[in-house]
A = this chain, B = another copy of it.
Amino acid sequence: MAVTMRDVGRRAGVSAKTVSNVINGYPYIRPATRDRVLEAIAELGYRMNTSARSLRTGRRGTIALALPELRVPYFAELASEVIHAAEARGLTVIIEQHGGRRDLELDVLTGSRRDLTDGLIYSPLALGPGDEALLDVPYPIVLLGERIFHPNLDHVTMQNTAAAKAATEHLLAQGRRRIVAMGPNPDQDVGSAPLRFAGYQAAVEEAGIAVDPALAVPTKRSWDHATGARTIGRLVDDGVDFDAVFAFNDSLALGAMHELQARGRRIPDDVAVIGFDAIDEGRYSNPTLTTIDPGRAQIPRDAVRLIDERQRGVAGDPCRVAPEFRLVPGGSTGAEELAARGARA
């Protein structure tokens, strides 16, 4: 039999309401009363009853978010936003990191932790086409990303190709002609890399320029600062000529910008740089980073709404959502001043 606030109050000689006040940290409680209540809580081993709703509704009130790597700011910020969106619906979130390892991605799907959560927001890196059957699990899943699709599952994705095209067009509009695409991976035919490269390619070709293979620079899968710095450094060492960089995420862009500046290149005068994701860091870099906001506010809101509606049984047919994107002007392409002038005009 679980210990209740009433039991704690009886032991401490106060009302259940006073116990609740102590637990919730209300001021104006006499120190002696407070101590008696805390002692009673400890003696009786009282645990807050978070399952009251669960008993009423058959739901646990907890969902999971599984993502590749919290160290990548995009995912840390996404996690934080999913938690806030879930809170607004009275849901708790636990975060699991799988590191893009297939065994851990499978453990996310099938491990015993799933017995404690109502649903899963799932952003895999290792699973891909051919693995769809592994997603036939007995709880709601909302997919994120572009690695794997499933006709029966809700999916929140991005307008990768259109947004990448807009990013490239922004550079072309400023007269840049030798634009590095940082992030394509010749070994990958699914995921955000090929989709973003397609947008780059379309924009360049529409401008009447042939895509120069020397400017399509593959990177390893982890798109972090160090990779961006190393990749652009190698390009400079190889004597490749370029006047702009479209990096497939902001961490790559910020790493590249750092390395270029360390080598005496001026941003944006010598090299204009644009990223993708609109992470917080790019608003405080020097110069600030021009980037693509792929729908940062809407992605977590939609993901949580879909998983919530699905588990409450009020969702319609499985749907695929790709929010509007927008270009965020920054100093790294000289766009900050343009934007400021526009705002004033």
Question: Using an 8 Å CB-CB cutoff, how does the interface string of A27-71 with B read, 1 for contact, 0 for none?
Answer: 000000010001101100111101100100000101010000111
Give bound CA distance, A112 to B117, whole Å: 11
| A7 interface residue (CB < 8 Å to B) | no
| A208 interface residue (CB < 8 Å to B) | no
Number of copies: 2
Contacting residues, chain B, for A42 (C-beta < 8 A) = 133-134, 136
Contacting residues, chain B, for A99 (C-beta < 8 A) = 83
Contacting residues, chain B, for A132 (C-beta < 8 A) = 38
Segment 233-280 of A: residues with Cβ below 8 Å from B: 254-255, 257-258, 261, 280
| A307 interface residue (CB < 8 Å to B) | no
Give bound CA distance, A109 to B45, whole Å: 12
Q: Is the CB of A34 within 8 A of B130?
A: yes
Question: Using an 8 Å CB-CB cutoff, how does the interface string of A95-108 with B read, 1 for contact, 0 for none?
Answer: 11101001100110
Q: Is the CB of B92 within 8 A of A95?
A: no
Task: Count residues on chain A whose CB falls below 8 Å from chain B CBs.
Answer: 70
Q: Is the CB of A93 within 8 A of B97?
A: yes
Looking across the interface, which residue of chain B has its beta carbon closest to that of A62?
B113
Q: Is the CB of A258 within 8 A of B229?
A: no
Q: How far is the CB of A304 from chain B (nearest CB, A)?
A: 14
Contacting residues, chain B, for A62 (C-beta < 8 A) = 113
Contacting residues, chain B, for A23 (C-beta < 8 A) = 106, 134
| A281 interface residue (CB < 8 Å to B) | yes
Q: Indicate whether A113 sits within 8 Å of B116 (C-beta atoms), given known contacts A83-B70, A284-B225, A284-B255.
A: yes
Contact residue among B113, B130, B254 (Cβ-Cβ distance under 8 Å from A284): B254
Contacting residues, chain B, for A205 (C-beta < 8 A) = none
Residues of A within 8 A of B (CB): 23-25, 34, 38-39, 41-42, 45-48, 50-51, 54, 60, 62, 64, 69-71, 73, 76-77, 79-80, 83, 92-97, 99, 102-103, 106-107, 109-116, 126, 130-134, 136-138, 224-225, 229, 254-255, 257-258, 261, 280-281, 283-286, 288
| A to B CB contacts below 8 Å, 13 in the list | A38-B133, A42-B136, A47-B114, A47-B137, A70-B76, A70-B79, A70-B95, A73-B281, A92-B96, A113-B116, A116-B116, A225-B283, A254-B281
